Structure 1
Amino acid sequence: MKINVGNLDRVLRIVAGLVLIALAATGTVGWWGWLGVVPLATGLFRSCPAYSLLGTNTCPVKK
């Protein structure tokens, strides 16, 4: 997997994923809260398939 998720993007994805999962687990939101697994996984693995398809990369360029 190619790394294409930068540090800020990674932190935001992990936090958003954890919040959605916590809200779903407590019953505050419906089943769709479990979709928080997607941003959590992309943040942990630092790779986003949608970014690959769109040619986007939020990682800083290494010289």
Structure 2
Amino acid sequence: MKRNVGKMERFFRALGGLMLVTGAAMAPLSLTIRLAVFGALGVYLLFSALAGSCLGYALMGRSTCPVEPGR
């Protein structure tokens, strides 16, 4: 998949993903809710930050990457 997430947004996605995964481990809720809500969203944010691409952006045809030189 083509990269469509800029560097600054990747940083904030990784930070948010780490916070959500930490919340999934520490929140005083049932395990099902922690894994389904916090865990799944946190893992997706971490994956999109590491891969540099977001499925939602791809479906909408959006990108936060700067324009490449020569285009």
TM over 0.5: yes
Which structure 1 residue ranges, 5 or more long, are not aligned?
A: none
Pair 1:42-2:48 in alignment: yes
Q: Larger deviation: 38-47 or 22-31?
A: 22-31
CA spacing shift, 1:6–1:28, aligned 2, 3 Å = farther
Paired residues, number: 63
Deviation string, structure 1 residues 3-45 (Cα, Å, up to 9, x no partner): 0000111001000000000111123564111021111100010
Which structure 2 residue ranges, 5 or more long, are not aligned?
A: none
Paired residue secondary structure (1:8): helix
If the length of structure 2 is used for normalisation, what is the TM-score? 0.81
**Root-mean-square deviation (Å):** 1.3
Runs of 4 or more, structure 1, over 4 Å off, are none
Q: Counterparts of 1:5 and 1:19 in 2: how far apart (Å)?
A: 19
1:56 aligns with 62
Larger radius of gyration: 2
